[in-house]
Amino acid sequence: MTNANTEQLAVLIVEDDHTAADLVTQQVAALGWTSAVVSNVQAARAEFAAKAFDIVVLDRMLDDQEDGLALLTWFRELESATPGVLVASRLGTGADHIRALDLGADDYINKPYDIEVLNARLRALARRLTGRRAPESVEVWEDLEIRVLNRSALWKGQQVSLRPQSFDVLRVLVASRGEYVSRETLWHTVWQSYKNLPPQETVINTAISRLRSNLASVEGGPVVESDRLGYRIALAASA
């Protein structure tokens, strides 16, 4: 079949069965779209944060034992338009369908599914799409989420209390994905009003100390490590 929608869409396939994932990938390719495959909810959050997917094909029983429907709740909390979601699962009772639709799924197909039916459902979902979310809306590192538009952070779903400046510092560290950020880079990125001044040691030290206290307030939260190379976000040693 050819793609009825001329726009190339991006599809995130959340599926831990390799055979099923390959079938969906083939149908997405036949429609002229691109796709990525992940096998659990946490990986899906990270992948979705890195790229603006238009459609999500979502299995429920995944390799981390988390129900795929947890992703629907996460999508609802995003700050901009969410993707179209097609749930594909062996959990096929009427109650299963109703629960998924109530949580925000657009469609539900039972496994094993007919390939032509899957193709038709994807095309129908594409026609119903009304917009895309901005990829900058949320950034994910491990279990830490940075909600950019409302300037907030969550660790395993728990809100981290942050001052505006602490949020800016944390966002810079998260963007480095665990690599060190030099004091110079941190200064010129966070304190842009004073970028013509050399890094102010006292100001930076105070900001880092405050951020460490904020992160310590959540159980098992990440830590800020320091080195001659600068600062980086890292998992706590006991994590």
Q: Tens digit of pLDDT for each residue in 12-34?
A: 999 999 999 999 999 999 999 99
Q: What is the pLDDT of residues 74-89, one digit of tens each?
A: 888 776 667 899 999 9
Sheet of 138-141, strands arranged across: 138-141, 144-147, 152-155, 158-160
32 with 2: CB under 8 angstroms? yes
140 and 187, same domain (yes or no)? yes
Count how many Cα atoms sit within 13 Å of the Cα of residue 88 in the half-sphere of its side chain: 25
Query: What's the pLDDT tens digit per position in 110-164?
Result: 998 889 889 888 988 887 775 444 445 788 888 899 988 889 999 988 999 999 9
Range of the domain at 48: 10-133
Spatial contact of 100 and 72, defined as CB atoms under 8 Å apart: yes
114 with 18, same domain? yes
Q: Is residue 99 part of a domain?
A: yes
Same domain, 154 and 104: no
* Tally of structural domains, the chain: 2
Q: What percent of the chain has pLDDT over 90?
A: 49
